[in-house]
Structure 1
Amino acid sequence: MAEELPNPRRDIPRAIFAQVSLGAITAFLYAVALFYAVSDLDEVINTSGSFPAAVIYRQATGNAGGAFCLLLIIFLIIMICAISTVLSLGRTWWALARDQATPFGDFFSSVNEQLSCPIPATILVGVLVTGLGAIILASGTAFNDLVGSFIVLCAFSYLLAIFPHLISGRKYTPKGDFWMGKYGFVVNALGCVLIVFFNIMFCFPYAMPVSADLMNYNSVILVGVLIIVTFWWLVYGLKHYPTPKVLTEAMK
């Protein structure tokens, strides 16, 4: 979606910074409000449901109707975010398909000009998301680990993007509007160290002794994704995936 912006080198970092900043502020204020709303902590901890916030809302409002209204607001927010997420993922898959980085790239790179939307890629993402969401019907442990693996996989993707630049001395990194010079090397190196540290921490089991229900499968998911991606890269990507134009120009 960065290609739809007039100046992505400047606008994307600003948007990310604004999103993270606003998210941190609102999350902090929301957490403070929740803590002040709790009148019976034991009831929240020992709730038999899977959504403790519902108990907190009931304690704060004093009745089930008020709790339902607050939960409805969260539900509507989640629905709106889910739609925007599917659309964003559809465009991401379309961009990868356009660069022949996915199976059936020619098909999924097509765009409906009337709707200005990559219909095949969006439908595929919707089907995949629905299938992954249905996993909870079979195993709550598998679903929770799958959802939690987003943190590990996302952080590892950052590592794959940053670490090669450190090895090459950042000489192939195009200088943008937020170029930090020599300080950027320190920030990137510190980021890689923190990513490795936190990924290791997130892969530890939830409790000891470890059982099938308490096992943390994030490491299994990470290794599985790496095997699949590496296999696809060796079989198809090396021959068909082009080098990004920005990186090619920087190397020249």
Structure 2
Amino acid sequence: MLQHDELKDVNVSMADEDSDSQDNASPDVPKKYRGTEADDFQMKVMGRVQELRRNFTFITILGFGSTLICTWEIIMANILPALTNGGTAGFFWGWVVVVVGFILVYASLSEMASMAPTSGGQYHWVSEFAPPSCQRFLSYITGWLCFTGWQSGLTAICFISGTIIQGLIVLNNPDYVFQAWHGTLLTIAVCIGLFAHRWLFVMIIVLWTLAPRHNAHDAFLLFVNNGGWSSQGTSFFVGLYPLVVSLIGFDSVVHMSEEIKDAARTLPRAIMWSTYLNSFLGLIMVITLIFTWGNADEIAGSATGYPFIQVLFNVTKSHAATDVLSFIIVITLTASVIACVATASRQLWAFARDKGVPFSNTVAYVNPNWNVPVNAVLLSLVATSLLSLINIGSFVALNAILALDCAILLASYMISIGCLTLKRLRGKALPPRPWSLGNMGLFINIAALCWLVPIFIFTLFPGTTPTTPATMNWGVLLFGGIILMAAVYYVVRGRHVYISPRERLRRDIQM
């Protein structure tokens, strides 16, 4: 096995050869899928060879991102924690806070994506923008955060979709005994087309037509604290968790960047417009729910495990209608799973080609006929299936993994934006980019960090207090465990073989 210094020499040599070539792409990639001259130049600058096909345009990648982050569906499926901590007023005003905060975050990520449109995403940006003394270790830790975050996120979407089906079985068959392993099998089944937003309006019409109404005063101004917290403010911030989950993850399109035409221009536009679109659709669903949800205390104990299923049944008085409406959400979540598999596998593949994970050569293999990282895709599916098995032994443990996804992605955003902010504060020159925040860049970066830090902390809070082992949010333990595991692996193995993106970088070459 080559040691780190030898790998670095080989890499620099390859980068020199690539910079002199006219087309910086693998011969296995057909010319029509190699992108624009700007894409080719960016790959040379980053010391990469084009191995994947650039199939995505602005419209298709916009659909990809909007479908993966199934905002209104997640809001419906995960509404109860927000109503417990905050009530309808907290739900609405919390949505406003979350949308504004994420616009700042995604604007910062969009600018970095325009500077360096690579499937590595956050760990590349950390490597390039962090101080040289710590860039290698910090980018390595960020790489571990990103790939574990997307693997757990894939499990979360599959689990929600599979257990909604299980909830419908409970509704239609009162004699059915809820078994954890049934949910696991359904999760794996979900694991094993785009823009489903038109179904949103079917759901809205049913709720507005048939459901009872709350008055406007209670809907917008009645805050509640049913989580047992010492203050309404704490309860409000704890209740933001499901809203954060419904908008987190638009870095997904970044990890597809080496499959996007004119990526440096297309990526920022896709990230921002996906954010705007999903925020608007989410707002429609939030307003609908705060007026039509009914008595939260009454539906919280639904045997289905999902209060929205009980609400739909209470409104329609029909098992068939409830099944159809609920399956709309299952279908859109399944579409999200497909996009999530692509994202998780590309993030894993990108980190593997820099020798960031065990068995990197195998994981980084790209099928020359399909130009797809097949091994990374298969590994993502296997990882999801294995993680879902935890549900058989402990639902609490699986919930911790689901909470882990949100915390990890927020942490990766904080680290990457923090490194960019530090570079700006030190007056260092930033790489050229076609999409720029201009003079507002530093303000937006700092504002994004000021929002991310408290949200990250409250994401790791339990939903209610006092806590028990069954209600504790064990995501904080898993988060610390991943950081520790990544650090130990780095010391033992990673520091000898990992090639940080900064070592490949060639910002000196001209287009």
Common topology (TM > 0.5): yes
CA distance in 1, matches of 2:392, 2:382: 16
| Among candidates 15, 18, 23, match of residue 278 of structure 2 | 23
Task: Supply the AA of the counterpart residue of 2:416.
Answer: A
Aligned positions, number: 252
Task: Supply the AA of the counterpart residue of 2:441.
Answer: G
Change in Cα spacing, 1:39 to 1:187, as seen in structure 2 (3 Å) is: closer
**Secondary structure of the equivalent of 1:152?**
helix
Residue equivalent to 2:365? 110
CA distance in 2, matches of 1:40, 1:191: 36
CA distance in 2, matches of 1:112, 1:179: 35
Residue equivalent to 1:142? 397
Deviations 1:5-41 (A, max 9, x none): 1222221111111221111111222233344444554
Residue equivalent to 2:441? 184
1:239 aligns with 2:478: no
2:403–2:473 Cα contact (<8 Å) kept: no
CA distance in 2, matches of 1:29, 1:48: 27
Change in Cα spacing, 1:170 to 1:90, as seen in structure 2 (3 Å) is: farther
Cα offset, 1:199, TM superposition: 1.5
Aligned pairs (5 A) from 1:212-227? 212-227=469-484
| Among candidates 176, 194, 201, match of residue 451 of structure 2 | 194
2:403–2:460 Cα contact (<8 Å) kept: no
Residue equivalent to 2:428? 171
1:8 aligns with 2:263: yes
CA distance in 1, matches of 2:351, 2:257: 13
1:91 aligns with 2:354: no
1:90–1:118 Cα contact (<8 Å) kept: yes
Residue equivalent to 2:408? 153
Task: Supply the AA of the counterpart residue of 1:43.
Answer: E
CA distance in 1, matches of 2:503, 2:282: 36
Cα offset, 1:127, TM superposition: 0.6
1:173–1:247 Cα contact (<8 Å) kept: no
Cα offset, 1:238, TM superposition: 2.8
1:46 aligns with 2:307: no
**Secondary structure of the equivalent of 2:362?**
helix
Cα offset, 1:141, TM superposition: 1.5
- Look at both structures and tell me which one has the larger radius of gyration over its CA atoms: 2
Cα offset, 1:131, TM superposition: 1.3
Unaligned stretches of 5+ residues in structure 2: 1-255
Cα offset, 1:236, TM superposition: 3.2
CA distance in 2, matches of 1:33, 1:224: 40
Cα offset, 1:235, TM superposition: 3.0
Task: Supply the AA of the counterpart residue of 2:488.
Answer: F
CA distance in 2, matches of 1:128, 1:172: 41
CA distance in 1, matches of 2:410, 2:295: 36
Task: Supply the AA of the counterpart residue of 1:191.
Answer: A
Unaligned stretches of 5+ residues in structure 1: none
Cα offset, 1:120, TM superposition: 1.1
CA distance in 2, matches of 1:247, 1:22: 36
Deviations 1:189-214 (A, max 9, x none): 22223222111222223333232112
Stretch moving more, 95-104 or 235-244: 235-244
Task: Supply the AA of the counterpart residue of 1:236.
Answer: R
CA distance in 2, matches of 1:76, 1:246: 43
Residue equivalent to 1:122? 377
Stretch moving more, 180-189 or 151-160: 180-189
| Among candidates 203, 214, 226, match of residue 460 of structure 2 | 203
**Secondary structure of the equivalent of 2:389?**
helix
Stretch moving more, 180-189 or 102-111: 180-189
Cα offset, 1:67, TM superposition: 0.4
Change in Cα spacing, 1:247 to 1:33, as seen in structure 2 (3 Å) is: farther
Stretch moving more, 230-239 or 59-68: 230-239
1:37–1:56 Cα contact (<8 Å) kept: no
CA distance in 2, matches of 1:18, 1:210: 40
Task: Supply the AA of the counterpart residue of 2:453.
Answer: V
Task: Supply the AA of the counterpart residue of 2:369.
Answer: Q
1:172–1:251 Cα contact (<8 Å) kept: no
Stretch moving more, 122-131 or 230-239: 230-239
CA distance in 1, matches of 2:507, 2:449: 23
CA distance in 2, matches of 1:188, 1:56: 41
TM-score by length of 1: 0.89
Cα offset, 1:143, TM superposition: 1.4
2:349–2:363 Cα contact (<8 Å) kept: yes
Cα offset, 1:165, TM superposition: 2.6
Deviations 1:79-110 (A, max 9, x none): 22112211221122111111211111111111
Change in Cα spacing, 1:217 to 1:117, as seen in structure 2 (3 Å) is: same
**Secondary structure of the equivalent of 1:175?**
coil
Task: Supply the AA of the counterpart residue of 2:400.
Answer: D
CA distance in 2, matches of 1:39, 1:5: 45
